Amino acid sequence: MTVERVFSQPDPGEETFLNALRPRSLDECVGQQAVKQQLQIALEAAKARREPLDHILLDGPPGLGKTTLANIIASEMQGTLRVTSGPAIVRQGDLMMLLTQMETGDVLFIDEIHRMNRVVEEFLYPALEDFRVDYATDSGIGGRTVNFNLKHFTLIGATTRAGMLSAALRDRFGHLFHLSYYNEEELTQIVARNAGVLDVQADQRALARLASRARGTPRIANRLLRRVRDFAQVRNDGILTAEVVDQTMQILEIDALGLDHLDRGYLQALMRHYDGGPAGIEAIAATMGHERDTLEDVVEPYLLQIGFVIRTPRGRVVRPVAYEHLGVTPPQTPPDPQAELF
């Protein structure tokens, strides 16, 4: 039986639940202090000059608050937030429709901007620099190009792979912010706040226990809080205790470090089939029967963060701490025959 993965993309109903827990201002946000300070100064300066904010690029792993910051920025600038994603903008006409709807001070949020079509990306350049676009109404001999002037808006691009952005696009952002993983203390504060929003009774040990399994990611902390709240309602009169958290995590197959069955399957594939590595990501994906993008975007970032896996020029390698965590004996390193010559 396949167990639902808590760390996968949320369904629409869960997305509504997560949206209800988003902070509404920078003061409500926990963590990311450097980003918050720089953003606060930029917002105050833009409002003092009565100008739209410079374009912003947010990069970092999924679930760290890029969409939340976009909502806060739009609210602070008293503009409308329009949300789309890179893969959804297939043609220049798709982007044209969005740009012509923007009013002065509005915010256009493009998630996964690194996946935007290159032709569309080049069409976006003059809109970012000069707030105008040259749109071809038709192709061929009878076609003509019409110049549209745009209202001054702010583009917020979000990406989990900043390295895949072209230099030309990256240089057109006035602010570049990197969001890093949250520590356990910050996640405990986030869980405590959201438990209060949901009117859930929880002791400090339960909150800390939940935060320790959230993989440094607020989105995951909120999903786990939802699952634990359901378990507590059915089994413990709605009260969250450390024991309730442990029992829920056992059902979800999430261990003390926040690793689930897919994370452990990745490590076990490297250990059993490739003697701990090095092994290429394509080979690991084929062994597990998963897409390469799933492993690179969802599994590997956290394993790299906690030092269970390293990337080398020859491929992925499991570190000794991962063997210890899973209770697996590391393979014996064969003696180097060249060493005996010396």
pLDDT for 1 equals 36
How far apart are alpha carbons 37 and 287 in whole angstroms? 45
Q: What is the pTM of this model?
A: 0.81
Check: CB of residue 213 under 8 Å from CB of residue 256: yes
Do 216 and 169 lie in a common domain? Answer: no
Read off the CATH number of the domain in which 211 is found: 1.10.8.60
Q: Is 47 a catalytic residue?
A: no
**Is 160 a residue of the active site?**
yes
- Tens digits of per-residue pLDDT, 170-197? 999 989 999 988 999 999 999 998 888 8
Catalytic residue among 209, 219, 227, 316: 219
The answer to whether 130 is a known catalytic residue is: no
Q: Are residues 174 and 50 in the same domain?
A: yes
Residue where a domain terminates, one of 145, 178, 211 = 178
The gap from C-alpha 180 to its chain's centroid, in whole angstroms, comes to: 10
Question: Residues 157, 243: one domain?
Answer: no
Question: Which one is catalytic: 160, 188, 217, 248?
Answer: 160
Q: What is the domain count for the chain?
A: 3
Residues 173 and 229 in one domain: no
Please state, in angstroms and as integers, the Cα–Cα distance from residue 252 to each residue in 184, 261, 321, following that order: 20, 9, 23
Give the tens place of pLDDT for each residue, 122-177. 888 888 888 888 777 665 555 567 778 888 899 999 998 888 888 889 999 989 99
Is 142 among the domain residues? yes
Low-confidence ranges of the chain (pLDDT < 70): 1-18, 137-144, 333-342
* Catalytic-residue membership of 36: no
Clarify whether 111 is annotated catalytic: yes
* 265 vs 259: CA distance, rounded Å: 10
Does 152 reside within a domain?
yes
Q: Choose among 270, 330, 301, 53: nearest CA to 175.
A: 53
3-state secondary structure of 12: helix
CATH classification at residue 273: 1.10.10.10
- State the Cα–Cα distance between residues 85 and 88, nearest whole angstrom: 5
Are 36 and 156 members of one domain? yes
Of 59, 66, 188, 263, catalytic: 66
Same domain, 118 and 154: yes
CA distance 337 to 342: 10
The whole domain housing 46 covers 32-178
Question: Exposure of 78 by Cβ count < 10 A (0-12 exposed, 13-18 middle, 19+ buried)?
Answer: exposed
